[in-house]
Chains A and B, each alone.
Chain A
Amino acid sequence: MAKVQRIAILVLILLAIIFPIISQNDYFIHVMTLSFIWMIGVYGLNLLAGYTGYLSLAHAGFFAIGAYSLGLLTVKAEMNFWPALFLSLVITGVIGFFVGLISLRTKEHFFAIYTLCVGYIIYLVIDKWDSLTEGVRGLIGIPAPANIGPLSFETLQSHYYLVLFFLLLVVLIMYRIVHSLSGRTYIAIRNSEDLAQTIGISTMKNKLTVFVISTVIAGLSGALYASFVRFIGPDIGSIAIVFDFLTYLLVGGIGTLSGPIVGTILIVVLSQRLQFLQDYRMLVFGPVLTLLIIFYPRGIVGAVVSWTQKRKASFHQPIIRAKKLPEEQVKEG
């Protein structure tokens, strides 16, 4: 199994690398780059909601903070792209730290409602603070990433590879986190916070760490978005964006490593095929989201995993596997 998985991952990465060469279609490359950017954001949300069980509805806000930090630093402070990117991650992380410090004291419903309101505050501040953010007019003329030595990111293809690089980096980091002791700790917190506390886990410290990592990743996604699209408006902080992230995550599979990729690609491709749905895509995706949560709470990946698990169980029943894949260990919810 592990071998099959490894080969599959390598094939996927290879496909991603040769994609611009085969497709030769700027529009497709553009769409793919955008969906890679979304995926990064969805991974941020997944770590928090999927593994720790805290549904944050403020993540569009952090996405926007990342995007606006980068935009303001490059456009208004005329900073070089790379230090600006680094700084914008720091800014998102610091704000995330303080928001997490307060919000994580609340639980379940209160947390969701609290973060919903935090997200709205961020959106309103961006929208109303004209002198800094240009308000509803939005921020125009965000530069493409600066050259690193001979590498330039002016063309679409090079930008695609840059985003792909960051995506792979994020996936790698996620893999490391989830498969480490910390990852297990987060899952323990999700399954029962009281129990985790009883066995000596400092839940607050762990939750805060996850929250900050998750916001920084959302910020990275926002910063990449800003430099790719070159124009940002307050709408990117609106609640609709967090709902988009949630849809991608849930369709793919919450609390799974490959879920964000599967969900995002599927929905982005579907939305492209159903162009006429643009404004009304929620007419289809809203009910899909609801039905999915009722019948397949762990999304496509979750459904596939439990299907293969069942099949395997019927093949060789007496064998007790010593080492399960964490994805399979994830219980519903």
Chain B
Amino acid sequence: MEILIQQLFNGLTIGSVYSLVALGLTLVYGILHIPNFAHGALYMMGGYITLTMMTKYGLHYWIAIFVSILVVGMIGVFMERFVFHPLREAPPIHDKIAAIGILLFLEAFAQFVWGAEFQSMPTPYGQVVQIFGLTFTMQRLLIVISAIVVMILLTLFLKKTFTGSTIIAMSQNREGANLVGINTNRVAMLTFMISGGLAAIAASLSAPINLVFPAMGQLVILKAFVIIILGGMGSVPGAILGGYILGFSESLGATYISNDYKDIIAFVLLVLILSVKPTGLFSKGGH
């Protein structure tokens, strides 16, 4: 029983990180219909920038995360401006390849600047807490709580503010949004900014319990794709729900099936879903 609860909590932790990454991916997909393969690289950059801010400049954890959000958000904006914007009329195969080009560049860049070795990120929240006789590390609790706070803030932003509504409007109908006077270029940049910021938060939160290395984004991004297919490409609640579903199935699968093959679970899930329904679960019809 204790193991089960522990594993459920682990699932909640991993799921929170997955949800944050998938949210950024799904927002971009909703707006521009681009599967941004470079999103994993944004996640990785987020980890490295927070790490550098903390170790090299001695900033506090939260301030380091804030800097990282800004920097990675800006990388996202540049990506939109210099790569995806010029390609918006091109056939769909092109922006996928361009995204791969960016991914390769950023990974090589990280390896060049920070080296290929694994690095661990210090955290001010290393202590262990006891709740109902169960032991949790502070950092894991922090991941869950911060992730939920970020998700609530994002939902409020999208639902309640004018700027948020423009994002929703544009994801529903690009031409329509343009017609009613929404500056679609600005919205696209904003979305990339948010998407990068979310990736930076996810990486900075999870890095202390994982590690920081150039390829750290690869597996996470693949799983994020599984999640947004699970939850419907472009759907915000779908990404959150899908993230937690995957988090739980992985942590339970690791305990009760096999730890070696836990990374395959996500992909087997995807293969099953797409075999049954080639357009993904909850798809909103062709785009």
Contact = CB atoms under 8 A, between A and B. Distances in A.
Contacts of A53: 91, 93
A103 to B, nearest CB: 8
Interface string A88-109: 0000000000000011011111
Given A286-B102, A286-B104, A120 B222 contact: yes
A287 B101 contact: yes
A281 B104 CA distance: 9
A285 interface: yes
29 contacts: A53-B91, A102-B271, A102-B274, A105-B275, A106-B274, A106-B278, A110-B280, A112-B96, A113-B35, A114-B270, A114-B271, A116-B37, A116-B222, A116-B225, A117-B226, A117-B270, A118-B267, A118-B271, A121-B271, A239-B218, A243-B100, A279-B111, A280-B111, A281-B108, A285-B104, A286-B102, A294-B86, A297-B90, A333-B94
Contact of A109 (B96, B109, B112): B96
Contacts of A22: none
A243 B91 CA distance: 19
A120 B105 CA distance: 20
Among A53, A107, A243, residue most surrounded by chain B Cβ atoms (within 10 Å): A243
A246 B35 CA distance: 17
Interface residues on B, range: 35 or more
A279 B106 CA distance: 13
Contacts of B279: 106-107, 110
Chain B at the A interface: SS class: helix
A294 B270 contact: no
Contacts of B12: none
Interface of B: 29, 33, 35, 37, 83, 86-87, 90-94, 96-98, 100-109, 111-112, 116, 218, 222, 225-226, 229, 233, 260-261, 263-264, 266-268, 270-271, 274-275, 278-280
Nearest 5 interchain pairs by C-beta:
A286-B105, A333-B91, A290-B101, A282-B108, A289-B101
Nearest to B92: A108
B236 to A, nearest CB: 18
Given A105-B278, A290-B105, A294-B87, A283 B94 contact: no
Contacts of B264: 121, 124-125
Contacts of A110: 229, 274, 278-280
A250 interface: yes
Contact of B108 (A108, A116, A286, A290): A286
A306 to B, nearest CB: 16
A293 interface: yes
Contact of A102 (B92, B222, B275): B275
Interface residues of A, number: 42
Nearest to B33: A109
B222 A282 contact: no
Contact of A289 (B33, B97, B106, B233): B97
Nearest to A50: B93
Chain A at the B interface: SS class: helix
Contacts of B229: 110, 113
Contacts of A116: 37, 222, 225
Nearest to B268: A121
Contacts of A112: 35, 96
A285 B107 CA distance: 12
B270 to A, nearest CB: 5
Nearest to A104: B278
A107 B285 CA distance: 13
Nearest to A102: B275
A76 interface: no
Nearest to A285: B104
A311 interface: no
A294 B101 CA distance: 11
Interface in A282-307: 282-283, 285-290, 293-294, 297
A333 B93 contact: yes
Nearest to A108: B92
Contact of B97 (A55, A113, A120): A55
A297 B226 CA distance: 29
A218 to B, nearest CB: 18
A121 B271 CA distance: 10
A293 B267 contact: no
A49 interface: yes
A146 to B, nearest CB: 36
Contacts of B107: 282
Interface in A51-73: 53, 55
A290 B98 contact: yes
B96 A283 contact: no
Nearest to B233: A109
Contacts of B278: 105-107, 110
B102 A283 contact: no
A176 B58 CA distance: 64
Interface in A247-296: 250, 279-283, 285-290, 293-294
A276 B229 CA distance: 41
B96 A117 contact: no
A266 to B, nearest CB: 16
Given A109-B92, A287-B105, A293-B90, 9 more contacts: A117-B267, A246-B97, A250-B97, A283-B112, A286-B103, A286-B108, A290-B98, A293-B94, A333-B93
